[in-house]
Amino acid sequence: MPALGADMEAGTLVEWLKRPGERIARGDAVAVVETQKGAIEIESFQPGVLREIRVETGARVPVGEVLALIDGEAGAAAAAPVHATAEAPARAIAAAPPPRPGAAAEPEPEPVVLSGQRRVPISPLARRLAEERGIDVATLQPGADGTIGLAEVEAARAALAPAGAPAARAAGERGLDLAAMRRAIAAAMARSHREIPHYFVSSTLDLAPLLAWLERTNATRAPPGRLLYLVPLLKAVARAMASAPELNGHYEADVFTPSAAVHMGVAIAMRGGGLIAPAIHDVDRLDLDTLMAKLDDLVLRVRGGRLRSSELADPTVTVSNLGEHTADAILPVIYPPQVAIVGCGQIVPRPWVSDGGLVVRPTMTITVGGDHRVSDGRSAAKFLARVEALLKTPEAL
Amino acid sequence: MTAPEPHKVRVTREHARELLRQMILVRRFEEACIELYGAQKIRGFLHLYIGEEANAVGVMQALTPDDAIVATYREHGHALIRGIPPTAVMAEMFGKATGCSRGRGGSMHLFDVSRRFYGGNAIVGGGLPLAVGLALADKLRGLARVTCCIFGEGAAAEGEFHESLNLAALWKLPVLFVCENNRYAMGTAIERSESVPDIRRHAEAYGIVAEEVDGMNVVDVEVAARRAAEAVRAGDGPRFLENHTYRFRAHSMFDPDLYRDKAEVEAWKQRGPVVRFTQWVLDTNTLHRADIDAIETEVAQTIADAVAFAEASPLEPVEDLLRDVYAPRPAAPGAPAS
Amino acid sequence: MSATRRITYREAVREALREALLRDPRVFLMGEDVGRYGGSYACSSGLLAEFGEERIRDTPLSESGFVGAGIGAAIGGMRPIVEVMTVNFSLLALDQIVNNAATVRHMSGGQIAVPVVIRMATGAGRQLAAQHSHSLECWYAHVPGIRAVAPATVADARGMLWTALQEPNPVVIFEHATLYNDEGEVPGEGELAVDIDRAAVRRAGDDLSLITYGGSLKKALAAADALAGERIGCEVIDLRTLRPLDEETILASVRRTHRALIVDEGWRSGSLAGEIAARIAEEAFFDLDAPVRRVCSAEVPIPYPRHLEEAATPQVDGIVAAARGLVRR
């Protein structure tokens, strides 16, 4: 059972497209699997003859289980199992299918197999950078000498930039192929899930002082100049980072490098599904109006597919805000190489104890997802306490 | 056991002519080498034997074609007198494929195993253990052959000299050690490098019969070499000759020769082996001026031919660079005995 | 401070010897023909007249004996500089260097220091055939207890000797025989001292690291010049110290350029180049964008004829071609 997405643990086999004894060409679909994201055809990367079906239709099969055996074409006695696991170094399912935009498939970095079954030589650096940048090496085209090196990864990275649009944009303003970006996020999330030992720490905060201040402030402004509650919230989170520097920075090659600046990734929903978290730079130093303007600009550009690649590359910490009319709390997943993410639930009125009496207050549950290789729950707790303190005096933000 | 009869060498007209021809061949050959070195036809180091010719010529008279020779990096004379064709020696100096070592060795590494000439060795003292081994093989194989090992007095300071003399004496091996004592190890005079400058006494300390020889007198060298070789061939164990000689030229090219007096060099030149022997054959009417002129003419032609041959010879192709590092395996190794 | 000067490598060695003899009365020079003859490569000419026979000692041709005596004298409180004519001849002294100089500190539980400096010429390039042309530095660099250095520039030839004499351990200095006539800059008085710990980046570049030492440095620099014309930027690293290797400098460069080409006149099998390649593979594998490449001597004793000697040893063309391959052009 191949892993068809980073979060896929099992699939239900719904149909066999080949019967035992049938010839299978490389790339033939052999079965259909129902996943959380819909029915997906499984193709074979091993040509030969289907010898034996091991799993009957209707069965739920964990990723990595053998589904069937295929006799290799060279008449080899050994049968190649049709399966794949996330860690299998030379798996049968290798050259992943081209991902469908906006669809469920979330291919991970895979060892590259050249047609003709020879492994394409890929340099260690190219493999590492591709993984770090969320580029699926299976999609890389080898150079003229048949190998994949740094040059091919950089070409692929550059190719991610134009969103299928004419190349009329300035270099710094190159738009991004959102589908490709989504694939990159998928790979990054898979990596995060695989590599980062997460911990989560939550606090529920009373937002009454913040909202009261916001109401007063916005009352004096024309509608285009009004602030969203997200703006002071982001500022508070950014400033609180100073109290827990181990949450702000990058972890690469077994080394954590804290960042003096707070470049905050802001998760924004994309058209066609998915989220993306480009960075607003130096959030802790921006005044609220500037931050509001930047946030507006960012949302517009995300929706228009016109992000700058640097905005994706360099957040030092991310905030994922669920927004209004959504859900109460979120356990967010860190975007590597960052080491923390702050998840904000919707604002919801809750019973609240104030001065020994029970009152109703607008509250928000904020959850810090931290990288246990770098920090621990105490850091997150300290950070949350600081956020709470800052939000009590929003006028000082 | 009685000492062997001293050999009487009757220097006939023919033999005198041959000794002189050989010395002149070596002398003129090396003089040509100096010129060719200047013209960059010969490269690397070039150690000349000029002044020492009587030693090679005298000693070679005592050896049979079955005997072996191990020499040093100053070995042009020994190679030529042993019979390696001047064409092959010159081609070797040119680095050509037709050289006696296929051009791989150059001046310091002349080899011709068909003539049992086991080379110019360019590590001082390095040839002595090799000679001991060749003699050991002959002894083990029951062959009455002599291995003649030629080296300079500088080698006497090396451990290998002492180790080799001891072994040869201990095992009574058929080695004829010939020390060509030209008094200078490169720039270091023997008095400055030897606590006991009489080299033969080192050999005597190992129980080897040793003799002092005037290495500027070709007949003396021949007499002593025949006597010693005879004893060695008879199974008496090693013998040792210390030939007093002198090189007229510097140690090699690039040597400004600042470590010895010009007067000293001039004095030795008066005793030069070619000039002295020429004088003797003329004085005794053994040979006439016309004979000597004929030798010069013949030798000049030989050298001209050698140079022409070397010039015309091909270089080895670069593709063959890696040849002769290992011997090819015999065709089909037999099955191991069970 | 005085300005820089241009002198030859030979003059640099001679100045360094003279400085050492003047500054430290424990220093003496010994070796074959270092006195009357002035040194087989004329590095010590004039020193006998200035310092006398006690301190400029001609030795018999007995490498094991006099190198061993140098080791003993160092143990006995002197600071000997022993010259061995060539690395091929040093094999006769290998026993003393490897079995005594390198070991006595350890064998004695740290009681004995051996502050001896052993200099020798090394390398091919002058058509001296197979007993005078080899590059056996790697053999010494293999041995714990020895520090092996290879001054490739005139400034290093001038500066390394004094530093080596301050070292409480045996130091073997390899002078490539093709360098003696080369001219180069030396710094002014008071700025001559150099370390014998670190490799030097002789030229900066981004596309590949050209790692070399000794006589091959000038070839590597010439190759880098040629490659610059093709817009291939070479970072040329001169190892300077062959043991212990300055891994940090090597790895920092390779991590930046992602490609390594090692030029080593030693034979490829069991070479110093092999050791460096292994360390890069161990420590910087994930930074490599291409396999590590080596340009070494062919597996043949160095032949006499010029065309074969050149074919057997690293040359600029071969370095350039290997570099192009590394950057996939």
Chains A, C in contact, 3 or more Cβ pairs below 8 Å: yes
Sign of the C-alpha dihedral, residues A114, A117, A118, A122? positive
Integer CA distances (angstroms), B52 to A93, B191, C271, in order: 82, 20, 43
**In whole angstroms, what separates CA A267 from the centre of its chain?**
10
CA distance B272 to B275: 5
Could C328 and A151 be called an inter-chain contact, meaning their C-beta atoms sit closer than 8 Å? Answer: yes
Which residue of A120, A145, A150 is the best one to mutate when testing the C interface, meaning the one whose CB has the most C CBs within 10 A? A150
- Say yes or no to pLDDT of A27 above 80: no
Tell me the ipTM for this assembly.
0.89
Handedness of CA B22, B26, B32, B36 (dihedral sign): positive
Amino acid letter, A91 = R
Instruction: List subunits contacting chain B, requiring 3 or more Cβ pairs under 8 Å.
Output: C
Reference B86, options B100, B103, B74; nearest CA is B100
pLDDT of residue B300: 98
What is the model's pLDDT at position A309? 54
For residue C15, give the H/E element and its range. helix C9-23
C308 chain-B contacts, CB cut-off 8 A: 95, 103-104, 316, 318, 321
Q: Do A128 and C290 touch (CB under 8 A)?
A: no
Q: Write the CB contacts of A110 (distance below 8 Å, at least 6 apart in sequence).
A: A91, A93, A94, A95, A96, A136, A137, A138
Residue C306 identity: R
The pair phi, psi for residue C243, each rounded to 5°, is: -150, 125
Question: Residue A307: what are its φ and ψ, rounded to 5°?
Answer: -80, 155
Is B185's CB within 8 Å of C61's CB? yes
Which string of b and e fits C152-190 if b means at least 16 CB within 10 Å? bbbbbbbbbbbbbbebebbbbbbbbbbbbebebebbeee
Residue B224 scores a pLDDT above 90: yes
pLDDT on residue A83 = 45
Q: What is the pLDDT of residue A307?
A: 64
DSSP designation for B191: H
Q: Which residues pair with B271 in a beta bridge?
A: none
State residue B7's pLDDT score. 52
Instruction: Please name which of B149, B105, B151 lies closest in space to residue B130, comparing C-alpha atoms.
Output: B149
Rg (CA), chain C: 19
Catalytic residue numbers of C, as ranges: 63, 132
Could you give the domains of chain C? 5-186 (3.40.50.970), 200-326 (3.40.50.920)
Q: Which amino acid is at C160?
A: M
Set of chain B residues whose Cβ sits within 8 Å of the Cβ of C36? 187-189, 192, 258-259
SS3 A335: coil
Nearest CA to CA, how far is C89 from chain B (Å)?
A: 7
Are chains A and B in contact at 3+ CB pairs closer than 8 Å? Answer: no
Smallest Cβ–Cβ distance between A145 and the set C285, C286, C328 belongs to C328
Of A191, A25, A176, A23, nearest to A101 by C-alpha is A176
Q: Is C252 on the interface with A (CB under 8 A)?
A: no
- Touching A (3+ Cβ pairs <8 A), the chains are C
Min Cα–Cα distance to chain C from B71, Å:
14
Whether A380 and A247 have beta carbons less than 8 Å apart is answered as yes
Do C60 and C33 form a contact (C-beta atoms < 8 A)?
Answer: no
The pLDDT score that the predictor gives to residue A39 is: 64
Q: Would you call B325 and C301 a contact, using CB atoms and an 8 Å cutoff?
A: yes
User: What angle is formed at CA A118 by the lines to CA A186 and CA A91, rounded to 5 degrees?
Assistant: 45
Tokens of A379: 């850091």
Give the pLDDT band of residue A99 (cuts 50, 70, 90): very low
d(CA C159, CA C9): 11
How many residues does this entry show for chain C?
329
In chain A, the residue whose alpha carbon lies closest to the alpha carbon of C292 is A123
Token pair for A144? 């003229």
Contact C304 B104 (CB under 8 A): yes
What is the helix (H) or strand (E) element at residue C241, kind and residue range?
strand C241-243
> Could you give the percent of chain A with pLDDT greater than 90?
27
CB atoms within 10 A of CB C284: 22
Structurally, chain B folds into a number of domains equal to 1
Residue A298 pLDDT more than 60? yes
Q: What is the pTM of this model?
A: 0.67
| Torsion angles phi and psi, residue B73, rounded to 5 | -75, -5
Collect all residues of chain C within an 8 Å Cβ-Cβ radius of residue B316. Answer: 305, 308
pLDDT computed for residue A203 by the predictor: 93
Residue A105 has pLDDT above 60, yes or no: no
Cβ–Cβ of A126/C290 closer than 8 Å? no
Backbone φ, ψ for residue B10 (5° rounding): -90, 110
Chain B partners within 8 Å of C59 (Cβ): 193
Q: Is C285 on the interface with A (CB under 8 A)?
A: yes
The CATH homologous superfamily for domain A196-396 is Chloramphenicol acetyltransferase-like domain (3.30.559.10)
Instruction: Work out the average pLDDT over B301-308.
Output: 98
pLDDT of residue B19: 98
Residue (of B122, B97, B191) closest to B153 by Cα position: B191
Q: What CATH code is carried by the domain that includes residue B243?
A: 3.40.50.970
Please work out, in degrees rounded to the nearest 5, the angle formed at the alpha carbon of residue B330 by the alpha carbons of B325 and B333: 130
pLDDT tens string A52-70 = 888 888 888 887 788 888 8
- Which of A11-25, B16-30, C160-174 is least confident? A11-25
The answer to whether residue B325 is domain-embedded is no
The predicted structure's pLDDT at residue C42: 92
Percent share of chain B, pLDDT over 70: 95
Sort out which chain A residues have CB atoms less than 8 A from C328's CB and list them: 143-145, 147, 149, 151
Confidence of residue A101 (pLDDT cuts 50, 70, 90): very low
CB of C324 within 8 A of CB of C232? yes
CATH architecture of A1-93: Beta Barrel (2.40)
| Contact assignment for A123 to C288 by CB distance below 8 Å | yes
Please check whether residue A197 is in contact with residue A370, taking contact to mean a CB–CB distance below 8 angstroms: no
The continuous run of DSSP H or E covering A377 comes out as helix A377-392
What chains are in contact with C, requiring at least 3 Cβ pairs below 8 Å?
A: A, B
Please tell me which residue of chain C has the smallest CA distance to B159: C62
Model confidence at A103, pLDDT cuts 50, 70, 90, reads: very low
State residue C156's pLDDT score: 98
pLDDT tops 80 at residue B215: yes
Does residue A104 surpass a pLDDT of 90? no
Cβ C174 vs Cβ C214: under 8 Å: yes
* Closest residue to B322, CB basis, from C37, C38, C299: C299
* Inter-chain residue contact C131 with B185, CB threshold 8 Å: no
Residue B241 lies in a domain: yes
Q: What percent of chain B has pLDDT over 90?
A: 89
Q: Which of B203, B208, B223, B151 is nearest to B180 (CA)?
A: B151
Using 50, 70 and 90 to split pLDDT, how confident is the model at A111? very low
Judge residue C212's burial from the number of C-beta atoms within 10 Å of its C-beta, 0-12 exposed, 13-18 middle, 19 or more buried: buried
The answer to whether residue B33 sits within a structural domain is yes
Question: Is residue A91 over pLDDT 60?
Answer: no
Chain A residues with CB under 8 Å of C290 CB are 123, 149
Q: What is the pLDDT of residues B87-134, one digit of tens each?
A: 999 999 999 999 999 999 999 999 999 999 999 999 999 999 999 999
Angle subtended at Cα C30 by Cα C24 and Cα C33, rounded to the nearest 5 degrees: 135
For A198, residues 6+ apart whose C-beta sits below 8 A from its C-beta are: A333, A334, A369, A370, A371, A372
Q: Are C50 and C24 in contact (CB under 8 A)?
A: no
Nearest to C215 by CA among C308, C326, C134: C134
Enumerate long-range contacts of C318-323, CB under 8 Å, 24 or more apart: C319/C210, C319/C219, C319/C220, C319/C223, C319/C261, C319/C263, C319/C295, C320/C223, C320/C226, C320/C227, C322/C261, C322/C293, C322/C295, C323/C208, C323/C210, C323/C223, C323/C227, C323/C232, C323/C234, C323/C261
Helix, strand, coil percent values for chain B (each to nearest 5): 45, 10, 40
Token pair belonging to B113 = 């195993």
Q: Do A125 and C289 touch (CB under 8 A)?
A: yes
Lowest mean pLDDT among A213-227, B70-84, B112-126, C178-192: A213-227
Does residue B169 lie within any of the structural domains?
yes
Q: What is the average per-residue pLDDT within B263-291?
A: 96
Collapsing DSSP states into helix, strand and coil, what is residue B155?
helix
Q: Determine the structural domain holding residue B90 and report its residue range.
A: 13-310
